[in-house]
Structure 1
Amino acid sequence: MISHTFAHTGPLKGTIRVPGDKSISHRSLMFAGLAVGESRITGLLEGEDVLATAAAMRAFGAQIERSADGIWTVYGAGVGSLLEPKQALDMGNSGTSTRLLMGLVASHAITATFIGDASLSGRPMKRVIDPLTQMGASIEASAGGTLPLMLRGAAPAVPITYRLPVASAQVKSAVLLAGLNTPGITRVIEPVPTRDHTERMLTGFGATVEVGEENGEKIIAIHCEADLMPCDVVVPGDPSSAAFFMVAASIVPGSDLTIMNVGLNPTRAGLLHVLRQMGADIKEVNPREVGGEPVADLRVRYAPLSGIDVDPAIAPAMIDEFPVLFVAAAIASGTTRTSGLDELRVKESDRLAAMAAALTAAGAQVEEHEDGLSIHGTGGEPLRGTANARVKSLLDHRIAMSMAVAGLVSTGGVEVDDISPINTSFPTFMGLLAEATA
């Protein structure tokens, strides 16, 4: 464990560039690893989660190399031609890697065992196990439907039409990836929209994907394809990583920070919308499109924030950003209320309980409810917890980084008990924070 104390060091200034989008990085390695031929990936996030995906795709037969200039070259194994891994696939802390790769294996005649760290091994996999079992895969999981688990793929798998019981881009993606090597058409019905990188990127790699709507619900259909085509991918900056700096610059007086090359996919831009509702001063500079994804530079200046009732319908578009939004709410004027956030209880940690405890220790007024938090803000005053208030990250990178931001607006500083989990998603976080506050 590596503890660190974060304290007020002055406004955030200058220009920073956050690492590549984690969701797109995972998928670019997977889809390039399934394509026949050479793909090149620029801007890949080189955090531990994405490297777990790279290691797994190598185990399935893809050739993946990183050059000195940071460009990754992938020679794919081909849909239908995955090799059986010689040993268990260690997913570390990555739920995305696990659930999407389970979908890949489900329609191939191979067996794979998935293992992970203590945090990942407590996360629910039944939501993926259910549809993949319907498609013919055989899955033996640990008690409670968790890792470690062994998955035997079906060949041929059975196409299904699956209605998502929870809003989850990972479950949707797992079913669609299984559908890549399943005869016929596999469909997913999505009552609540979730991030759509899988649909956009599979289309870019040459898959036949149809997106329609029926009775107000989104329907995504994927046709069985023999081959994906290689593709060069430029990964935009991760909006979930930019979120910590968007909030920090919004709540630290005097800040004027530009965050370059941020992906603004509408299914991921919920935090931007909510912060603006609260009064944040965030401008999109040089908006453009890169590889089918909207991108812009974000100029964020300090502005007094006001508490709001957050519409639960926006949750899927910012599910990973709520921990740092709670920090913004703690400094706003009035009360911010959130609801419909049951999903946060089954992330890397129970993020509702973890953030309620951490913010309370830092001096915030927080009420925890079954599906959300109510936070009574300070009206712009710094948090007045005990000196060097010690908070638990619970092996959760987003809790650690959110409380780092809280430390910037506290009178006594905030000590995060373990910052090492930050490397799973944002290995340059500490350096960028030091650069922006220098």
Structure 2
Amino acid sequence: MPHALPQPRTIAHAERLSGRLRVPGDKSISHRALMLSALAVGESRVEGLLEGEDVLATAAAMRAMGAEIMRDEECIWRIHGVGVGGLLQPTGALDMGNSGTSTRLLMGLVASHPITATFTGDASLSGRPMGRVIEPLSRMGADITASPGGRLPLMLRGLCPAVPIEYTLPVASAQVKSAVLLAGLNTPGITRVIEPVPTRDHSERMLAGFGAELTVEPGPIGRVISIRGEAELKPQQIVVPGDPSSAAFWMVAGSVVPGSDIVIENVGLNPTRTGLLTALRMMGADITEQDARIVGGEPVADLRVRHAALSAIEVPPDLAPSMIDEYPVLFVSAAFASGRTVARGAHELRVKESDRIAAMRATLEANGVACIEHEDGLSIEGTGGDPIPGGGVVASKLDHRIAMSSVIAGLHAARPVTIDDVAPVATSYPSFFDQLEGLSA
């Protein structure tokens, strides 16, 4: 699933942003909804699915392993599952495009099925290490042959029956946790994951919703998540809330562009995903929740964002797991705050679609923002609300979040900001530029 030719784009200063918008469905929930529906017996229906390239890669992989997946004219996805243990041998390689979530979670699914799958991806994904997933899945009996450095392409030969394990996460990673739990679905006995630092819990919520026997209990060093294998999943009707990682760009844009007043509808506010909201409020952002409600077991609200003067903070490192994908745009907000913001505790950014710490330092410096790079984050000198100098050219590094964060920076820059390639934005947010145009009109 290679990207199209590079699509450069230049972003000019915005006078103000106003209006209402609805962000795409949550990417994490969309991936999991497709996977678990494909393992249920019967037809599941999913509304609000994110139809970006990453999620479509998951859909294609589940089809290749036997699930029937269809989208109707009303954008409702219908999935006829094969049952836990029923995945079929794919006839070709599974192309994951740019999606690390698809790759790591599907490796977990395949690990406890008697099939062999080859995982491939684009240049960006092929540079990302998979060792942290390979290690626990190998302990469960999967035979994995990866490219040098534990990278794609890799071949995974599943074991059935696999071996249940108790695994303590060495780093906070919802993807590794989910991969082990998904492998445990078809493993006799009880598979346990011990999580010293809480990460997003969409997998636990959704597995329980589909009928898996799953418990979450406190332990001496963290949460203990246990799943009983050889499960029978029941089909579900799922409504996917708006992705807080996509809403993050508008939270920052509305906060830093003078005169702005926008409402972001239907945003998922799972407590394991609200770190950026907490950090922005600490900085003085004016973000209020309206019509708070529960949708499909997930807390949801509309967010009203109005321009506010931001002040620099030291971002609490314990917020990192709940906003790891939002650090790039948090760095942008810091560029407009009064004083020096220190945002650390985010080692994980080094192994995302790009090295997001280095990429955002280069982005900010190219546009006149002074910053210091740390191993686990950045220190950034803000403008006190004035426009940043701008005028730079940004290398997006095939990373959708670097591209979109750079766009937000350009909205309050003295000179236009140019991004070398915004094509990767389609992996998670196909309507991003259309919605930006609507807010700017």
Same structural fold, with TM-score higher than 0.5 when normalized by the shorter chain = yes
**Which secondary structure does the structure 1 equivalent of 2:291 belong to?**
strand
Which residue, out of 232, 241, 247, partners 1:242?
Answer: 247
1:423 aligns with 2:426: yes
CA contact (8 A) 1:34 1:78 kept: yes
Map 1:63-82 to 2 at 5 A: 63-82=68-87
Structure 2's unaligned 5+ residue stretches are: 1-5
Alpha-carbon offset, residue 226 of structure 1 = 3.6
Identity %: 68
Instruction: Report the counterpart of residue 403 of structure 1 in structure 2.
Output: 406
Structure 1's unaligned 5+ residue stretches are: none
**Which secondary structure does the structure 1 equivalent of 2:319 belong to?**
helix
Opposite residue 433 of structure 2, the aligned amino acid is M
1:277 aligns with 2:247: no
Alpha-carbon offset, residue 225 of structure 1 = 3.3
Find the aligned partners of 2:15 and 2:31 in 1 and give their Cα distance.
35
Find the aligned partners of 2:221 and 2:271 in 1 and give their Cα distance.
18
Which residue, out of 183, 196, 202, partners 1:197?
Answer: 202
Find the aligned partners of 1:186 and 1:28 in 2 and give their Cα distance.
21
Instruction: Report the counterpart of residue 390 of structure 1 in structure 2.
Output: 393
CA contact (8 A) 1:208 1:225 kept: no
Find the aligned partners of 1:13 and 1:60 in 2 and give their Cα distance.
45
CA contact (8 A) 1:207 1:225 kept: no
1:28 aligns with 2:28: no
1:412 aligns with 2:415: yes
RMSD of aligned Cα (Å): 0.6
Opposite residue 156 of structure 2, the aligned amino acid is L
**Which secondary structure does the structure 1 equivalent of 2:258 belong to?**
coil
Alpha-carbon offset, residue 216 of structure 1 = 4.6
Opposite residue 410 of structure 2, the aligned amino acid is G
Alpha-carbon offset, residue 372 of structure 1 = 1.1
Find the aligned partners of 2:22 and 2:340 in 1 and give their Cα distance.
32
| Alignment deviations for residues 52-110 of structure 1 (CA, whole Å, 9 cap, x no partner) | 00000001100000001100000001101110000000000000000000000000000
Opposite residue 138 of structure 1, the aligned amino acid is D
1:156 aligns with 2:161: yes
1:172 aligns with 2:177: yes
Which residue, out of 261, 267, 283, partners 2:266?
Answer: 261
TM-score, normalised on structure 2? Answer: 0.98
Instruction: Report the counterpart of residue 305 of structure 1 in structure 2.
Output: 310
1:215 aligns with 2:220: yes
Find the aligned partners of 1:85 and 1:282 in 2 and give their Cα distance.
47
Find the aligned partners of 2:149 and 2:352 in 1 and give their Cα distance.
15
Which residue, out of 60, 67, 80, partners 1:62?
Answer: 67
Instruction: Report the counterpart of residue 296 of structure 2 in structure 1.
Output: 291
Which residue, out of 114, 117, 124, partners 2:119?
Answer: 114
Find the aligned partners of 1:131 and 1:210 in 2 and give their Cα distance.
20
Find the aligned partners of 2:411 and 2:143 in 1 and give their Cα distance.
49
| Alignment deviations for residues 188-240 of structure 1 (CA, whole Å, 9 cap, x no partner) | 00000000000000000010110001115100000013410000000000000
Instruction: Report the counterpart of residue 340 of structure 1 in structure 2.
Output: 345
Q: Runs ≥4 in structure 1, deviation > 2 angstroms?
A: none
Opposite residue 107 of structure 1, the aligned amino acid is S
Opposite residue 64 of structure 1, the aligned amino acid is I
Find the aligned partners of 2:51 and 2:308 in 1 and give their Cα distance.
33
Find the aligned partners of 1:266 and 1:281 in 2 and give their Cα distance.
19
Q: May I ask how many residue pairs the two structures share in their alignment?
A: 436
Instruction: Report the counterpart of residue 325 of structure 1 in structure 2.
Output: 330
| Alignment deviations for residues 27-53 of structure 1 (CA, whole Å, 9 cap, x no partner) | 000000000000000000000000000
